[in-house]
Amino acid sequence: MRTNWKHNELIVIFILTVTIFLAVFVWGLGLFTDIEEEPYVSEETDRIVVGVSQLGSESGWRTANTESVQSVFTTENGYFLLFSNARQKQENQIKAIRSFISQRVDYIVFAPVVENGWRTVLQEAKEAGIPVIMMDRKVEAADQDLCVSWVGTDSRQEGVKAGRWLEGHLRKEGVTEEEDVNIVVLTGTEGASSAIGRSMGFAEVAHKHANWKILEEKCADFTSAKGKEVMAGFLRKYPDIDVVVSQNDDMTFGAIEAIREAGRTVGVYGEISIISFDAVHDALEMVADGTINVDIECNPNQGEYLSQVISMLEKGQEVEKDYYVEEDIFTIDNVTEEVLQERNY
């Protein structure tokens, strides 16, 4: 009898142990699920939840673009903003977009660092029923239908404007079609739609002039440090550069440093003409004093437009595929004190 009891006791202890083990295991699983699952923010707030994936913070222009978005998607305006900076890495942007999808945001806004490679994640957003709006740059044409709209600048047209300015400038300087004009181009991030557009637009005009020699186009990542490095290389390689086309102001700042360090002069009163893009405050000051010949404006204030697109979508209204922000061209003739004072980026 006593031995049986012992046997039963053992069975009870065994069952208890298994039950406790299972309970702890299931509780543990719950703990991990809590860690991995993102909260569904859209269910916690009646504000419009917008997930913004910014591509990085490489330039003054980008900082202004980020500020424009952050100043519009505020609590006061009825928004809940989830903001993520991808630091130039497409994989970070894809991760951010996936996280926005799992948090069931109402809208996704993103500035694609490069054109290609978005189809899968955009399809995921579409399947989840979340409208995606592109900002600043575009995804490749074949995938644009996966996005409801785009707000940005006409980069091809900016390139054309740069070319047209050069045509006029050479005419004024009395340079004939028989004289060679040696050009180097500092391009932005490889594969970025804004860099591709600016190169294409400028090339369209350049092709009409047999004497325009594009000696080399090289990527300098839209950053000042890279601009300086690439320009220094150009100067070592090509002794007679007439024109630098630099696809953003940050690269221009670096390039000008390199040119000066090489003992050469720039701008309206110098040997090498400088064509820049963006028109941020510090660059406009350099336009005003003749250091930069022309700055093709690229408007980073896209937040208002994005918020208008969202409010139209909220009302169930049709939206356009493309919204272009307004842009100007600046030379020493039109950068007034007033223009400089108004430029807050």
Token representation of residue 326: 């307004």
Q: Is residue 137 at the binding interface for ligand GYE, with CB under 6 A as the rule?
A: yes
Residue 216 backbone dihedrals phi, psi, to 5 degrees? -165, 145
In the set 53, 59, 103, 299, which binds ligand GYE (CB under 6 A)? Answer: 59
SS3 of 214, please?
strand
| CB proximity list for 50: less than 8 A, separation 6 or greater | 73, 79, 80, 81, 82, 105, 106, 107, 108, 109, 310
> From the CB of 189, what's the least distance to ligand GYE, in Å?
7
Residue whose CB is less far from ligand GYE, 103 or 247 = 247
In the set 50, 53, 58, 100, which binds ligand GYE (CB under 6 A)? Answer: 58
Tell me the site size for ligand GYE, rule CB under 6 A. 14
Q: Is residue 166 at the binding interface for ligand GYE, with CB under 6 A as the rule?
A: no
Q: Is residue 330 at the binding interface for ligand GYE, with CB under 6 A as the rule?
A: no
> From the CB of 245, what's the least distance to ligand GYE, in Å?
13
Q: Is residue 246 at the binding interface for ligand GYE, with CB under 6 A as the rule?
A: no
Tokens 């917008």 correspond to what residue?
A: 50
Q: Is residue 150 at the binding interface for ligand GYE, with CB under 6 A as the rule?
A: no
Do 292 and 274 form a contact (C-beta atoms < 8 A)? yes
Burial 162-198 (b: 16+ CB within 10 A, else e): bbebbeebbeeeeeeeeeebbbbbbbbbebbbbbbbb
* Entry field: residues in the chain: 345
In the set 52, 62, 79, 148, which binds ligand GYE (CB under 6 A)? Answer: 62
H-only helix segments in 103-154: 119-127
CA distance 221 to 113: 11
Q: Is residue 297 at the binding interface for ligand GYE, with CB under 6 A as the rule?
A: no
Q: Which of residues 206-245 bind ligand GYE (CB under 6 A)?
A: 222
Residue whose CB is less far from ligand GYE, 242 or 250 = 250
> From the CB of 187, what's the least distance to ligand GYE, in Å?
11
Do 184 and 245 form a contact (C-beta atoms < 8 A)? yes
> From the CB of 88, what's the least distance to ligand GYE, in Å?
10
- Residue at 83: amino acid letter: F
Q: Is residue 121 at the binding interface for ligand GYE, with CB under 6 A as the rule?
A: no
Stretch that binds ligand GYE, among 32-40, 58-66, 82-90, 333-341 (CB under 6 A): 58-66
Stretch that binds ligand GYE, among 57-65, 73-81, 171-179, 330-338 (CB under 6 A): 57-65
Count of beta carbons in the 10 Å neighbourhood of residue 96: 22
Residue whose CB is less far from ligand GYE, 277 or 330 = 277
Do 41 and 82 form a contact (C-beta atoms < 8 A)? yes
Stretch that binds ligand GYE, among 56-64, 82-90, 126-134, 202-210 (CB under 6 A): 56-64
Residue whose CB is less far from ligand GYE, 194 or 199 = 194
Q: Is residue 73 at the binding interface for ligand GYE, with CB under 6 A as the rule?
A: no
Q: Are strands 243-246 and 149-152 parallel, antiparallel or unpaired?
A: unpaired
Q: Which of residues 267-296 bind ligand GYE (CB under 6 A)?
A: 277-278
> From the CB of 307, what's the least distance to ligand GYE, in Å?
20
Q: Is residue 253 at the binding interface for ligand GYE, with CB under 6 A as the rule?
A: no
Burial 122-150 (b: 16+ CB within 10 A, else e): bebbbeeebbbbbbbbbbbeebbebbbbb
Q: Is the sign of the CA dihedral 216, 218, 222, 228 positive or negative?
A: negative
Q: Is residue 302 at the binding interface for ligand GYE, with CB under 6 A as the rule?
A: no
**Which residues here bind ligand GYE, judged by CB under 6 A?**
58-59, 61-62, 136-137, 153, 188, 194, 222, 248, 277-278, 298
